[in-house]
Amino acid sequence: MKLILLGPPGAGKGTQAKEISAKYSIPQLSTGDMLRAAVKAGSDVGKRAKAVMDKGGLVSDEIVIGIIEDRIAQKDCATGFILDGFPRTLGQAAALDNLLSSKKLSLDHVIEMRVNDEELVTRIAGRYTCAKCGQGYHDKFQKPVKAGTCDKCGGTEFARRPDDNAETVKTRLMAYYRETSPLIGYYFAKNSLRSIDGMAEIGAVTKAIDGILTGKKGK
């Protein structure tokens, strides 16, 4: 199964991608996570991406398309994958179409997660992750069962993203509306788009996505 989770920053793409990944045993391909790993490793790509990411802009199509091409070629993507945060421009969407058709593959689902701007800012401002395993949390909406301890790995160190601040969020949202929201029309015109209410609770969103993946229901 090959799918795209499409939605603005903070919509819950990463949260839901992890659920789908565990349930269907397919990898989550988050270009944001891959770029953050490149920044951490101090690679050439990381150095080029860092300044753009810190400001909330979009890294060049050339860089992210290259990253995705390499990643999709890996063995664990043979049975499918979840694209989380890619494509993000019409150029990236066209490159993905070409890449998949050159491999005689196609997308099974494109799921748009709809969340209003005010909620996005609240979600981003309260987000943090386990520094050890990357499990995501939220100050209000997704707390660990035992305060200060990761539910998944027992880790006690947590991290916040440097781009999760009020100023950068605005730039990220603008980048979404300008560059990424046209993809809604792009996939709608291809008859592949399904839209879900991303404002619902995490578990209810997971259920709605699952309904689409198993062909049970959806709008």
- Residue 44, Cβ density class (10 Å: 0-12 exposed, 13-18 middle, ≥19 buried): exposed
Q: Any idea which residues carry the catalytic annotation?
A: 13, 88, 127, 161, 172
**140 Cβ contact partners less than 8 Å away, ≥ 6 residues apart:** 122, 126
Give the binding range for ligand AP5 (CB under 6 A) out of 21-29, 40-48, 58-66, 185-193: 58-66
Report in angstroms how near the CB of residue 14 gets to ligand AP5 at its nearest: 3
* Residue 198 binds to Mg ion (criterion: CB under 5 A): no
CB-based contact 50:38 (threshold 8 Å): no
Binding-site residue total for Mg ion (CB under 5 A)?
A: 1
Token pair recorded at residue 101: 């058709």
Report in angstroms how near the CB of residue 79 gets to ligand AP5 at its nearest: 23
Angle between helices 90-102 and 182-189 (to 10 degrees): 40
Give the binding range for Mg ion (CB under 5 A) out of 12-20, 71-79, 148-156, 178-186: 12-20
Question: Which position has the token pair 């793409």?
Answer: 13
Report in angstroms how near the CB of residue 30 gets to Mg ion at its nearest: 6
* Residue 202 binds to ligand AP5 (criterion: CB under 6 A): yes
Give the binding range for ligand AP5 (CB under 6 A) out of 73-81, 100-108, 119-127, 207-215: 119-127
Give the DSSP per-residue string, 50-101.
HHHHHHT-PPPHHHHHHHHHHHHTSGGGTT-EEEES---SHHHHHHHHHHHH
* Residue 205 binds to ligand AP5 (criterion: CB under 6 A): yes
Token pair recorded at residue 1: 């199964």
Q: Given the rule CB under 6 A, which residues bind ligand AP5?
A: 7, 9-15, 30-32, 35, 52-53, 56-59, 64, 85-86, 88, 92, 123-124, 126-127, 136-138, 141-142, 163, 172, 201-202, 205
